[in-house]
Amino acid sequence: MVIIVESGAEEQTIQNLIEKVSALGFTPHPIRGVEKTVIAVIGPKTQEKMELLEVMPGVEQIIPILKPYKLVGREVKSEPSEIPITGDLTIGGERIVMMAGPCAVEGYDQLIEIARYVRSAGGHVLRGGIFKPRTSPHSFQGLREEGIPMALAVKAETGLPFITEVVDVRDIELLHDVADIYQVGARNMQNFALLTELGKVDRPVMLKRGMSATVEDLLQAAEYVAVEGNDRVILCERGIRTFETSTRNTLDISAVVALKRFSHLPVVVDPSHASGHDWMVPALAKAAVAAGADGLLIETHTRPQEALVDGPQSLTPSAFSRLMKDLEAFCEAAGRTI
């Protein structure tokens, strides 16, 4: 359920409510919106306990939440969340955040070259997998620990925040100093032990939709992170598996619209993994902006034909720069900036 606090309630009144919620055996999650402060209440409810809360000073209304996800839904917070990344960079507001880089970190020279042109073209966040989960155990699994100092050096030179995938609970601490955003891949969307631990970190978490997951599945997975106290969750639509064979996955553009309606969390689209083809990426990126996405996750490589991972879906430096220029008009038409 959600306790809607009266407008103008003093901070002490809000704290008294939080303490009462805890004393009754619930877990309180205060959420301070632009217009209202609400307290999401997690735990088994009884009519008697609800009545005790209803008569507390400062309570305007108590609303039961019927959906299986409580903290990430619109019932708790009606306005979109803006999640801080670093400095003055946030996601979920007017700006479309561009996250771009190679699928995998292959070496310092490769990463710094890509980071420089991503920054020059106007990109906001550098992406790159240090740990790479692969379908085949014989495929390149990333540089692992060896890649961390490389990424740290590139961050220091370019000033770009870094997003990288965490594939195991043990990797969370290893990546803490280098990851400004922890990425959870599609295969790990329902790795609940990993999600629970990421709910305890002080970093944003970008959660990719599983290849066979519904929108509700994705939102319930996000709830695992939020319920542990980390409300800095970003949702990512990256395509789902269908019977279509002309693309790597099928980009569910309607999921962007649905997620924006059902949740207050920002939504990012990954057109690279959705399509598997570099020539499809620009059109799908523009469609994502039109559908209301708050950011894009783009793969780019200086020499895609030599990439150790996902070369066919990676944009060349010139193609990436061209996409950034082309997106300006689409963002303006959507009432956004890039």
Tokens found for residue 15: 């704290």
Question: Within this chain, do residues 91 and 147 fall inside the same structural domain, yes or no?
Answer: yes
Question: Within this chain, do residues 101 and 39 fall inside the same structural domain, yes or no?
Answer: no
Give the chain's length. Answer: 338
Q: Does the pLDDT value for residue 49 go beyond 90? A: no
Domain span holding position 266? 83-333
Question: Within this chain, do residues 114 and 212 fall inside the same structural domain, yes or no?
Answer: yes
Average per-residue pLDDT for the chain = 94
Q: How many domains does the chain have?
A: 2
Helix axes 215-226, 253-262, angle to 10 degrees: 50
Q: Return the DSSP state at 248.
A: S
Q: Give me the mean pLDDT over the 321-333 stretch.
A: 96
Question: Within this chain, do residues 57 and 87 fall inside the same structural domain, yes or no?
Answer: no
Q: Does the pLDDT value for residue 240 go beyond 90? A: yes
Q: Is residue 108 part of a domain?
A: yes
In the chain, how long is the greatest CA-to-CA distance? 67
Question: Within this chain, do residues 56 and 117 fall inside the same structural domain, yes or no?
Answer: no
> CB burial class (10 A; 0-12, 13-18, 19+) of residue 80?
middle
pLDDT at position 44, please? Answer: 80
Question: Within this chain, do residues 51 and 100 fall inside the same structural domain, yes or no?
Answer: no
Q: Does the pLDDT value for residue 35 go beyond 80? A: no
Question: Within this chain, do residues 220 and 321 fall inside the same structural domain, yes or no?
Answer: yes
Asked if residue 126 lies in contact with residue 158, where contact means CB atoms within 8 angstroms, the answer is yes
How far apart are alpha carbons 179 and 278 in whole angstroms?
Answer: 26
Question: Within this chain, do residues 320 and 246 fall inside the same structural domain, yes or no?
Answer: yes
Query: pLDDT category, 150, cuts 50, 70, 90?
Result: very high
Question: Within this chain, do residues 97 and 29 fall inside the same structural domain, yes or no?
Answer: no
* Continuous H helices in 250-296: 253-262, 271-275, 281-291
Question: Within this chain, do residues 310 and 234 fall inside the same structural domain, yes or no?
Answer: yes
Pairing of strands 2-5, 59-63: antiparallel
**Following CA atoms 258, 261, 262, 264 in sequence, which dihedral angle do they give, to the nearest 10 degrees?**
120
Supply the CATH number for residue 12's domain. Answer: 3.30.70.1140
Each residue's pLDDT tens digit, 67-106:
889 899 998 888 999 999 998 999 999 999 999 999 999 9
Question: Within this chain, do residues 47 and 134 fall inside the same structural domain, yes or no?
Answer: no
Question: Within this chain, do residues 20 and 87 fall inside the same structural domain, yes or no?
Answer: no
pLDDT at position 73, please? Answer: 94
Query: pLDDT category, 253, cuts 50, 70, 90?
Result: very high
Supply the CATH number for residue 160's domain. Answer: 3.20.20.70
Each residue's pLDDT tens digit, 261-310:
999 999 999 999 999 999 999 999 999 999 999 999 999 999 999 999 99
Q: Is residue 68 part of a domain?
A: no
pLDDT at position 67, please? Answer: 86
Phi/psi for 325 (5° steps) reads: -70, -45
